[in-house]
Amino acid sequence: MLRLYYSFFCIHNSILFVKLLLFFLALSYRCHQFVRVSVSYPHICALCEDYVVTPRCNANKCFICKSIFHLVCGEYSNRFGKSPCKASVDDISIVKSEESTNSSIPNAFSLLSSSILTNEQPLDSWNRTQVAHWLAVVSLGRFVALFIQLNLDGNFLSKVTRDSPHLCKVVDPFAREALEKAILTLQGKEPTPGEDLGIFAKLDNDEKILIKCDDSQLHNFQLTSFYRVVSCVVCNIPLLGFSHQGFQCKRCGSIFHRICKALDCFSKCPGVYCPTKAFSFDKSATDYETDKIPTSLVPYTSEYFGVKLEDQKLDSASKVPLFLTVCTKQIEKLATESFVTANNNPCIQPVDMAMVYQQSALTHTVQELHDTFAHSLPLPDIEQSSDHPLDIVRSAQLMKAFLRDLPVCVIPEDYYLDFCSLANITNMNDKSKSVNSFLESLPELHRLCLVHIFTHLSFVLNHQRKLRSYLLYSSSIDVKRQNSFSGSTTNVSNNLTPWLMVFRQILVRPPWHLITDIATAMDTHMRALEAIFSTVVGHIIDEPEYISQTNNSDIYSQSPDVDFQRNCMSPAQFKYG
């Protein structure tokens, strides 16, 4: 009997030894052990740091270290030993993932974990929150407010087709095409670089691509907003989104997906602009649709747009970027003069600043603004074509385009969490101290720029108060004006909330690993901006609807700009946006 027990003990230990041996062999090799999964809430890929989100089982999850990969990135990781499996620090990896999860949402990590399944998660079953997260990570964040307000969910997305009537109300052709292409990609009807395993056939046929380059042959990557449809030089698949869609080499002009940039499988940089055809891989017969889409563009250069605050020409008095001060001075001058004009002509109404900031430029107009003012200030005395006068609307469009194109936004990403923390302070004395401490911590140019913008916003609110009083007074003494201004008087508001909504889109850009805050942290951003505004300006406009008492859905419905909705929806549809 003892011999039997001894034999059993030896067999058990042998099995345990073999398991341990296999484990350590796997650990030393450090290859991921993948299982196919679907991902209904965006997760950052462990290799390329772009987001993974798909209703189909077209993503990889390592069941040892729990990391998520695109199909392409998972294959690349195991082939070339990039971002290897770290089974021994599994628990640490999970903790780090939880720390990097959206900071504004309670229990966000458990929500994201439950969104990874080994079976498909049909698009038509996605709720509007999942859709909003998806919009944020595919560079369509400026559609989030509209989608949430109209309660558009996965069922809506699943019904969109090419030239779909569901999107016909989107006026801007580029915005419509970008949204349609992104939806079709999510449906699986358009290719995506994360699932294009054919790239490895190209690598096998051209191994020299992976040869190390010296510094003069390296690409100079810069995250870029493209104002036309472009494709990636590596995979020839179009980039998705409306802004900051991908990277461009500022030497040769080549364009890259985030994924393809991380794969290091591209040609050396020639150091000068290289036309599309010189860089493209051989295309198959099925690529005819993307064959005419450029994979490189002449790198854009400007003295103002896309230039860091530290490199801008500054106003000698305020030490704020000269381009910004020229825009705000012109806006304020024209708004003030409009009262004089209205007094002299009873048929004319003074400028309504809500209408000024609602009129976002279409994409082709933004491109024209960039070209026209790349190297010149928008001064009122410069020669302008009759088709594009430098009026108050155009000045506002220029100001927003300038701020939106800053490589490091006015509230830098490194200070984003400190900014969000201002939303949680309720005591007024503590709030003032915290805001002042936050402002002092910012780089000087960013602090001065932020104060300048809020001072301009204070002017806008005061102008709206004067406009409302003017219209009420004019209507009371003049019957003709009463009839013509009756609707205008009730629509003029100096409520702070919608104005902070406009500037929130310009001033606040979450860091990439928290980009879904665009969809989920609206209330946090608004309360933090309100805290800064009240401290900088010294007062809050007294309105029945106080901003700190509003929730996300209220904020979305109050936004006047919406910096995109007026643009994208027809007049008949705008009442919903």
- 67 pLDDT tier (thresholds 50, 70, 90): very high
Residue 214's pLDDT is what? 60
- 1 pLDDT tier (thresholds 50, 70, 90): low
Higher local confidence (pLDDT), 334 or 559? 334
Residue-by-residue DSSP string for 186-207: HHTSS--GGG-TTHHHHHHH-G
Name the nearest CA neighbour of 255 among 210, 218, 215, 221: 221
Sign of the alpha-carbon dihedral angle for 367, 139, 559, 324: negative
d(CA 238, CA 207): 24
- 29 pLDDT tier (thresholds 50, 70, 90): low
What the chain holds in terms of domains, given with CATH numbers, is: 10-80 (3.30.60.20), 123-187 (1.10.150.50), 215-277+292-300 (3.30.60.20), 309-479+494-539 (1.10.555.10)
* Torsion angle of the four alpha carbons 363, 402, 303, 294, in this order, in degrees rounded to the nearest 10: -30
- Indicate the pairing of strand 34-44 with strand 51-62: antiparallel
What value, to the nearest 5°, has the Cα angle with vertex 142 and ends 363 and 112?
A: 140
Q: Is the pLDDT of residue 136 over 80?
A: yes
Quick one: tokens of 149? 């307000």
Average pLDDT over every residue of 37-49: 95
Residue 538's pLDDT is what? 78
Give yes or no for a contact between 254 and 296, defined as CB atoms under 8 angstroms apart: yes
What distance, in Å, lies between the first and last C-alpha atoms of the chain? 82
Q: Is the pLDDT of residue 135 over 50?
A: yes
Residue 91's pLDDT is what? 44
Higher local confidence (pLDDT), 258 or 94? 258
Residue 162's pLDDT is what? 84
Higher local confidence (pLDDT), 208 or 399? 399
Q: Is the pLDDT of residue 165 over 50?
A: yes
- 164 pLDDT tier (thresholds 50, 70, 90): confident
Residue 490's pLDDT is what? 47
Q: Is the pLDDT of residue 182 over 80?
A: yes
Residue 451's pLDDT is what? 96
Give yes or no for a contact between 270 and 253, defined as CB atoms under 8 angstroms apart: no
Average pLDDT over every residue of 346-363: 87
Higher local confidence (pLDDT), 568 or 525? 525
Residue 416's pLDDT is what? 97
With 0.75 as the threshold, say if the pTM is over it.
Answer: yes
Higher local confidence (pLDDT), 74 or 266? 74
The share of the chain scoring above pLDDT 70, in percent, equals 73
Q: Is the pLDDT of residue 127 over 80?
A: yes
Grouping H, G, I as helix, E, B as strand and the rest as coil, residue 134 is helix
Of 44-53, 95-104, 317-326, least confident by mean pLDDT is 95-104
- 101 pLDDT tier (thresholds 50, 70, 90): very low
Read off the pLDDT of residues 193-238 as tens digits, 9 standing for 90 and up.
Answer: 988 887 776 665 555 444 455 666 789 999 999 999 999 998 899 9
d(CA 547, CA 482): 31
Residue 301's pLDDT is what? 94
Average pLDDT over every residue of 83-100: 54
- 146 pLDDT tier (thresholds 50, 70, 90): confident
Give yes or no for a contact between 458 and 451, defined as CB atoms under 8 angstroms apart: no
Residue 442's pLDDT is what? 97
Read off the pLDDT of residues 419-451 as tens digits, 9 standing for 90 and up.
Answer: 999 999 988 889 999 999 999 999 999 999 999
Read off the pLDDT of residues 477-500 as tens digits, 9 standing for 90 and up.
Answer: 655 555 454 455 445 666 888 899
Q: Is the pLDDT of residue 102 over 50?
A: no
d(CA 442, CA 505): 19
Higher local confidence (pLDDT), 567 or 359? 359
Higher local confidence (pLDDT), 352 or 217? 352
Question: What Å distances lie between residue 232 and 184, 256, 259, 343, CA to CA?
Answer: 18, 5, 10, 56
SS (H, E, C) 489-524: HHHCCCCHHHHHHHHHHHHECCCHHHCCHHHHCHHH
- 267 pLDDT tier (thresholds 50, 70, 90): confident
Residue 92's pLDDT is what? 39
Average pLDDT over every residue of 69-83: 91
Kindly report the average pLDDT of the chain as a whole number.
Answer: 80
What value, to the nearest 5°, has the Cα angle with vertex 155 and ends 153 and 157?
A: 75
Quick one: tokens of 338? 């409009």
